Amino acid sequence: MISPARRPARHVAARMTATMALVLAASGCAGSTGGGKDSDAEATSLTVLDYYTDAPEHHQWTETLASCGRRAGVRIEHTSVPPASLVPQVLRQASSHTLPDLLMLDNADLQQVARTGALAPLDTFGPLNGATNGATSGTASGTASGIDTRDVTEGILSAGTYDGKVYGLAPYVSTVALFYNKDMLAEAGVAVPRTWDELRAAAARLTRPGRYGMAVDANATFEGTWQFLPFLWSNGGDESKLDTPEAARALRLWVDLVKSGSMSTSVLNWNQADVHDQFAAGRTAMMINGPWRIPALKADEKLKWGVAPVPVPRAGQPPVTPLGGEVWTVPRSDSTARQKKAARVLGCLNTPANTRALAAQHLTVPSRAGVAAEYAEANPSMSVFVDSVKDARVRTARLGVRWPQAATGIYTAIQSALTGRQTPEEALKDAQRIATGAGL
């Protein structure tokens, strides 16, 4: 999640979940973009679909795709759509057997698509891990000898895995952390909070007329769920059973911040961009957000900011944050040649050199552990995110394709508890009913 256009999920996708399963299953899930012969010589171009629109920060993708295409001996026909349009377009293309040769998906959407048979397992194109394509130099793309996944952590690989098979790889990933205004904390004599108790105290001391101490995105979308997950998971809560004391204590923290006046009730309507705007304007001293906000923060020379791990219930424990980002996949088609070429391009996107270059362009974390460590040394503001990614959890890890129901239950509970309609315990009991499909 997620991040925006790297956002963790979109509420449109939640509404489309059941429809996707039916449409893709009925369609047979096989694309027909290639057709014809299976000789590699017949595959001279590939179609690529993502939701990286024409924003300047996404121009690197166009260049990288073209370069990887040249190495695979194909011309890239690259199409981008707005984030909310990707899943509906995949539905339409699946039903008409016109899926692209290479498809990008938010990692939380992968299992829903993979279970229909629309995607090819990446070991179809050779064994994973033991690639002999020279990928460690960053100069070669995936080949029939395998796609190189060496040094990709198990957690990141799981983001592209369904039913024990890897269907997608992420060149980079993201998560969230605590951003804070250095001047405001210094003026108030407040240390950077590391625990929930410290967060409550710091937010209260930083709050004054015209300024709140803390801000989160608590809106009624998957983005609100994404921001709550570090608090839920770090306290031992689990989306597979939401009506627990651990989950209630996490939600109580947010309720207390709002009730005490340390956090605005407007968080119920803010998305992550809104939270950033409040922080940049000096209307909140701290916020939860992702590294994709760093370029805008750096552009404001008057703003002195820092970044720290998301506060945890008890001192000394690492936060458990959600793993965001997109995975690249190879849809099935009736052309083996096109699939092989697409796999080569996918392998190229995930070489060490490209993971670092793309992560630097997007202010995210390279998916290869060794590359990420070097990247953090060169980019200190990213070190918190690199460390958090090590323990980050994939949103679909516990529930798989049932994740959207749980996510809907969570953001519904957040809305109900923060508005005072229900206690955290009551709200989470209803959330559990939503998560299990029992309704209200």
Q: Domain with 26 in it: what CATH number?
A: 3.40.190.10
* pLDDT given at position 252: 98
Q: Tell me how far CA of residue 209 lies from CA of 212, 274, 283, 284, 332, in angstroms.
A: 8, 19, 9, 11, 58
Residues sharing a CB contact under 8 Å with residue 265, sequence separation 6 or more, in sequence order: 258, 418, 419
Three-state SS for 270? Answer: coil
Single out the residue of 337, 331, 347 nearest to residue 44, CA to CA.
337
Q: What is the pLDDT of residue 226?
A: 97
Alpha carbon 102 to its chain centroid, in Å, reads: 19
Report if residue 1 sits inside a domain: no
239 and 311 together in one domain = yes
**Within a domain: residue 170?**
yes
Q: Are residues 80 and 97 in the same domain?
A: yes
Considering the domain boundaries, does residue 232 fall inside one?
Answer: yes
The range of the structural domain enclosing residue 315 comes to 177-321+399-435
Q: Do 340 and 367 reside in the same domain of the chain? A: yes
The token pair that represents 3 in the structure block: 């991040």
Q: Nearest to residue 105, comparing CAs of 45, 115, 97?
A: 115
Q: Which residues contact 95 (CB under 8 A, 6 or more apart)?
A: 23, 24, 26, 27
Confirm whether 42 is domain-assigned: yes
> What's the confidence (pLDDT) of residue 273?
96
Give a yes or no: residue 349 inside a domain.
Answer: yes
pLDDT digits (tens, 9 = 90+) for 22-51: 444 444 444 444 443 444 557 899 999 999
Residue 2 counted as domain residue: no
**Which residues of the chain register pLDDT less than 50?**
1-19, 21-39, 131-144
Residue 334 lies in a domain: yes
One domain, residues 54 and 108: yes
Same domain, 158 and 218: no
Q: What is the rounded radius of gyration, in angstroms, for the C-alpha atoms of the chain?
A: 22
| Overall number of domains in the chain | 2
Check residue 88 and give its pLDDT.
84
Res 399: pLDDT: 93
Q: Report pLDDT for 54.
A: 66
Q: What is the pLDDT of residue 90?
A: 87
Backbone angles phi, psi at 438, to 5 degrees: -85, -15
Same domain, 383 and 309: no
**With DSSP H G I counted as helix, E B as strand and the rest as coil, what are the percentages for the chain, rounded to 5?**
50, 15, 35
d(CA 435, CA 429): 10
Domain assignment present for 376: yes
**What residues does 105 pair with on adjacent strands?**
327
Q: Do 271 and 377 belong to one domain?
A: no
Both 95 and 228 in a single domain? no
Contacts of 344 (CB under 8 A, 6+ apart): 68, 71, 72, 141, 142, 143
Pair 58, 140 in one domain: yes
The whole-angstrom separation of Cα 23 and Cα 18 is 9
User: Rounded distance, CA 227 to CA 243, Å?
Assistant: 19
Residues 226 and 374 in one domain: no
Residues 225 and 115 in one domain: no
Tell me, yes or no, whether 26 and 161 share the same domain.
yes
